[in-house]
Amino acid sequence: MSDTRNFNQQYGVPMAIYQERYRALDPEEVSRRSGVPYDSGLSVFSMTVLGFDLLVSWPEFSLKPLDVRCPSVLCGNAAQILLIRYLIKGTKAEPAGAFIPYREIPWGEVYDKNFQGRCRARLAYSYSGKLDVFDRACRSLGGVPVKKGDAAFDLRFIPGVTVRLILWSGDEEFPPQSQWLFSDNTPLAFSAEDVAGMGDVIIGALKEMSKR
């Protein structure tokens, strides 16, 4: 019973609220604001997430991948919440070229400790001593290598919004660590809560691609 309640609280109830708001949107306005193309003939938005193309139906929200290789997590509950919230209120803006840590996103400092365990530590320990696996998984998601740490990649979460993942594998003296940096336009697209959800989706996608 508790699992059902937790599911409804985390996904079911919020999604029902977002679905209602989504139905009331003007899809053409959404397209202009978010930069997500809309096909009025098919009643679908076309989104690219971590290099994979998804069709997003309107007025009833659903996600459909166009590539059979698409990680299932990109159509899972966390991704659905994240993407419907972006279409409801996210704004596309060109990045200025800088990257910011999570704590510099509005309200990020409040949730930074949670983000540490939920994303930074989780990523670091998942790939400690497995930099080759991390490399392969990032590349499979369209990641571009960056000369930082022991391994680093820029992942384009959606067009215009880039996440930089930096790993230090650790040794006998220091534990493994990771740093997450976000293109400076991220706060216009996603809230601090959304960015934490983005971290869950990215780690889930990396995990799936690591097994292939």
The answer on pLDDT for 86 being more than 70 is: yes
- Measured distance CA(71)–CA(58) in Å, rounded: 22
Residue 174 has pLDDT above 90, yes or no: no
Q: Render pLDDT for 95-141 as a digit per residue (tens, 0 to 9).
A: 999 999 999 999 999 999 999 999 999 999 999 999 999 999 999 99
Q: Whole-angstrom Cα distance, residue 121 to residue 102?
A: 14
Give me the domains of the chain, ranges plus CATH numbers: 2-89 (no CATH), 99-210 (3.30.310)
**pLDDT for the residue 4:** 43
What is the C-alpha separation between 88 and 100, in angstroms, rounded? 24
Q: Where in 85-170 does DSSP place strands (E)?
A: 99-101, 144-145, 151-158, 161-168
Average pLDDT over the chain, rounded to an integer: 94
Distance CA 68, CA 120 (A): 29
CB 192 within 8 A of CB 106: yes
Tens digits of residue pLDDT in 13-23: 899 999 999 99
